[in-house]
Amino acid sequence: MKYWSKITKTLTPYVPGEQLNEPGIIKLNTNENPFPPSPKVIEKIKKCLGSELKKYPDPESTELRNSIADFYEIEKDNVFVGNGSDEVLAHVFMAFFKDKKLYFPDITYSFYPVYCGLYEINYQTISLNKKFEMETKEYLNLDGNIIFPNPNAPTGIGMELDAIEKILKNNPGNLVVVDEAYIDFGGKSAVELIDNYKNLLIVQTFSKSRSLAGMRIGFAIGDEKLIEGLIRVKDSFNSYPLDRLAQAAGKAAMEDRDYFEYTRDEIIKNREWTISELRMRGMELLPSKANFIFVRVKDAENMYRELKARKILVRYFKKPLMDSYLRISIGTKEEMGKLIKNIDQIMGV
């Protein structure tokens, strides 16, 4: 295409999970939350649906950032917000990663290499060990910046905070970005380390543990100077990445702690139930601290297709090292019951 710039011709875009919206479909393929947003969120969004929409939203998302700061007992100036954590991550790559090499695990969130392509960043992957874990020692004293999710995706495996601290301590000249998209489902956030480690930036999202994937709200937490860098990039790109509805919804979601804890606990319970059911059937699973499980299946692609034919969508990655696994998001108790029943039928039990 003659109008495409050189860089556009080289891009390999990220491919998100299928969004089939047929009635009756059980969607366990994109790690969305099976619970609706808090009723208080819906109420707040309705209040925004008036003439105020003629006006631009707060470009600094002050109230939303304050609510995140309150939740984590930090300051507003330690918080950056963006249009989904994917956008926050894009700004992170632009703001901090352009000038040296970037390291991340070989099995991880597949958007990272895509951003490297977009921003022309040189990267190197580090292999997980045989148990699909990140080996802490492989991440010490590197000659470049580092990004990884905790828990990792699509494995679900979590990393202890003392391992993360060791990586931070042994990379004083490098930025370490921890993508905590799934941290609320059983891990411990690294937010408590930001005062001691100026080279730590944490990225989180409202899409998974706060049932707001459709609203597109993500955030980053770190030293003020890092946040200032992100704001510079954001204000060179889009002054208003979060609209009025998103800012109000995000604030209400952050403030409704009871609903957040209740839905999170339900998902953890459903995860443990699903794991024990699958183990009873002799299946191998990685230990998950996320709202999904990574399950080894004899013919994974076939199982994916058979489940889809039965209106259950799971995620299959046709990639080396991952192609004998399915990633299955944790839904409601009822949905997980149906999943198990259908797996039994497919396996002819």
Ligand X SMILES: *Cc1c(COP(=O)(O)O)cnc(C)c1O
Residues that bind ligand X (CB under 6 A): 31, 84-86, 109, 149, 153, 179, 181, 205, 207, 213, 218
223 in helix, strand or coil? Answer: coil
Q: Is the peptide bond before 149 cis (omega within 30 degrees of 0)?
A: no
Considering the complex, what minimum distance in angstroms separates the CB of residue 153 from ligand X?
4
CA pair distance 30, 181, nearest whole angstrom = 12
The CA-atom distances, in angstroms, between 101 and each of 6, 14, 98, 116, 174 are 22, 21, 8, 10, 10
Considering the complex, what minimum distance in angstroms separates the CB of residue 15 from ligand X?
13
284 backbone dihedrals φ, ψ, rounded to 5°: -95, 130
- C-beta closer to ligand X: residue 97 or 109: 109
- C-beta closer to ligand X: residue 125 or 170: 125
CA pair distance 150, 127, nearest whole angstrom = 16
Considering the complex, what minimum distance in angstroms separates the CB of residue 32 from ligand X?
9
Residue 99 CB burial class (10 angstroms; 0-12, 13-18, ≥19):
exposed
Cα dihedral 47, 83, 154, 308, rounded to 10, equals: 60
CB 170 within 8 A of CB 206: no
Considering the complex, what minimum distance in angstroms separates the CB of residue 155 from ligand X?
11
Strand partners, 26: 312
Q: Is the peptide bond before 34 cis (omega within 30 degrees of 0)?
A: no
Considering the complex, what minimum distance in angstroms separates the CB of residue 309 from ligand X?
26
Considering the complex, what minimum distance in angstroms separates the CB of residue 33 from ligand X?
11
- C-beta closer to ligand X: residue 85 or 171: 85
CB 81 within 8 A of CB 250: yes
- C-beta closer to ligand X: residue 177 or 275: 177
The CA-atom distances, in angstroms, between 129 and each of 133, 136, 138, 263, 283 are 5, 10, 10, 33, 20
- C-beta closer to ligand X: residue 16 or 172: 16
Token duo for residue 342: 């259908």
- C-beta closer to ligand X: residue 183 or 295: 183
Count of residues making up the chain: 349
Considering the complex, what minimum distance in angstroms separates the CB of residue 181 from ligand X?
4
Considering the complex, what minimum distance in angstroms separates the CB of residue 314 from ligand X?
15
- C-beta closer to ligand X: residue 218 or 241: 218
CA pair distance 329, 290, nearest whole angstrom = 9
279 backbone dihedrals φ, ψ, rounded to 5°: -65, -40
- C-beta closer to ligand X: residue 86 or 256: 86
